[in-house]
Amino acid sequence: MQYLLMIYRSEAELFKMNDADRQKMSAEYGTFTQSIIQSGHFKAGDGLQPSTTATTVRVRDGKVLTTDGPFAETREQLGGYYLVEAKDLDAAIAIAARIPGARDGSIEVRPIMIYSPELVQARAGRA
């Protein structure tokens, strides 16, 4: 089963880090990423640019509305993700607990909905 591991942390705290701490954290992420690639759990993953670069899109009454910045002001921001293959939720949680950002942020673990081609075609036929 696939799980999305979403990495949340305070961007303000990240920006306060000195170069040495940032390099150390980057090396830890590199080591973690290599470990899940080698174990076969890794499907995809990337970091995200700061939330200040986000654009939020809404459609209301047929009109596309855009807002600069994230959807909501929060204490922690989505900073990156890993898409992993794990046998069950417990295995996905064990992987998430090894992500360096779990020490000072939080990792949301969410199962991926895999749509079968038949389901996608059936939904398209109803549209």
Per-residue pLDDT tens digits for 42-99: 999 999 999 889 998 989 999 999 988 776 667 888 999 999 999 999 999 999 999 9
CATH of the domain at 14: 3.30.70.1060
- The total number of structural domains that make up the chain: 1
| Amino acid 62: pLDDT | 95
79 closest CA partner among 44, 50, 106: 50
pLDDT of 115 higher than 90: no
56 closest CA partner among 37, 75, 78, 40: 78
Angle at 29 between CA 27 and CA 31, to 5 degrees: 70
Measuring CA to CA, how many Å separate 107 from each of 23, 43, 99, 103, 126? 21, 17, 8, 10, 36
Domain interval for residue 94: 2-126
| pLDDT per position as a tens digit, 12-36 | 898 999 999 999 999 999 999 999 9
| Amino acid 96: pLDDT | 97
